[in-house]
Amino acid sequence: MTAQNVEGGAQRSGAASYSPDKEYCLLTTFDRTGGQADDVQMYFALQGDTMYMLSGGGSAAEWVQNIIKNPEASVKTPTETFAGMARVVTRPDEAQIARQLIASKYEQWHEGQPLSDWARDALPIAVDRAPHLS
């Protein structure tokens, strides 16, 4: 795996430094033109049943365009796999939480520090875990 494989990796200006030992997830979306599964490696942070990611490419990123067209997604982390519904985070308070969680995890950000350009400017995306059916 190289830095180019991870969305938000070191190849982006002001982005979190890429390291192969940093935890990432595999986000699977469905191609908006043909419906084929499309995978992208992402830095992420979890809060409750919601996983947050940042799109350094904003809404123009292919995987974000896929989510806008079809929000069904699956996520695989080193410890679990789950299905969910993805969405662009639009509430400013939730966007700030997403930014801070990810910056804390990958950039050693702490309360009172300014966010990096990447953490401040990237588009926050959430994947809400689908409820378990019994």
pLDDT, tens digit, for every residue of 63-76?
999 999 999 999 99
Query: What is the rounded (10 degree) CA torsion for 45, 61, 129, 19?
Result: -30
Cα–Cα distance between 78 and 13 in angstroms, integer?
27
In one-letter notation, the amino acid at residue 108 is: Q
In one-letter notation, the amino acid at residue 95 is: A
Average pLDDT of every residue of the chain: 85
- 95 pLDDT exceeds 80? yes
Q: Give the pair of three-digit tokens for residue 30.
A: 């469905």
Domain locations along the chain? 3-129
pLDDT, tens digit, for every residue of 27-53?
999 988 888 999 999 999 999 999 999
CATH number of the structural domain 3-129? 2.30.110.10
- Which residues share a beta bridge with 28? 39, 74
Report pTM. Answer: 0.83
